[in-house]
Amino acid sequence: MIPSSMRFINFFAAVCLAVTLFQLPGEAMANELQITTTKQGDGPVAEKGMKVAVHYVGKLEDGTEFDNSRKRGTPIDFVLGSGQVIPGWEQGIEGMKVGEQRDLIIPPELGYGARGAGGAIPPNATLYFAVELMAVSMPASLGQLDSKGLLTAQKEGVVIIDIRRPEEWKETGVIEGAATVTAFDESGRLMPDFQEKFMSLVPTSDTAFVLYCRSGSRTNMLGRALMEQVGFENVSHLSGGIIQFEEEGNKLVPLN
Per-residue pLDDT tens digits for 131-190: 999 999 987 789 999 999 999 999 999 999 999 999 999 999 999 999 999 999 999 999
Percent of the chain past pLDDT 90, that is, above it, reads: 75
Q: Given pLDDT bands bounded at 50, 70 and 90, which one contains residue 114?
A: very high
Q: How many CA atoms lie within 13 A of 241 on its CB side?
A: 16
The CATH 3.40.250.10 portion of the chain extends over 143-247
Q: How many CB atoms lie within 10 A of CB 210?
A: 24
**Catalytic annotation, residues:** 56, 66-67, 86, 112, 129
184: Cβ–Cβ under 8 A, 6 or more apart, which residues? 163, 165, 190, 191, 218
Q: Please report the pLDDT score of residue 225 as a whole number.
A: 87
In the predicted model, what is the mean pLDDT of residues 104-124?
93
Question: How much is the pTM?
Answer: 0.59
Give the class (CATH, top level) of 143-247.
Answer: alpha beta
Residues 14-47 have pLDDT tens digits of 454 333 323 333 333 346 999 999 999 999 999 9
Percent of the chain past pLDDT 70, that is, above it, reads: 88
Quick check: 13 pLDDT over 70? no
Which conformational region is residue 82 in: left (phi greater than 0), alpha (psi within -120 to 50 degrees), or beta? alpha
29: Cβ–Cβ under 8 A, 6 or more apart, which residues? none
Q: Is 5 helix (H, G, I), strand (E, B) or coil?
A: helix
Give the class (CATH, top level) of 31-137.
Answer: alpha beta
Residue pair 106/88 in contact by the 8 Å Cβ criterion:
yes
Q: Which residue has the higher pLDDT, 33 or 3?
A: 33
The CATH 3.10.50.40 portion of the chain extends over 31-137
In the predicted model, what is the mean pLDDT of residues 191-204?
94
Quick check: 10 pLDDT over 90? no
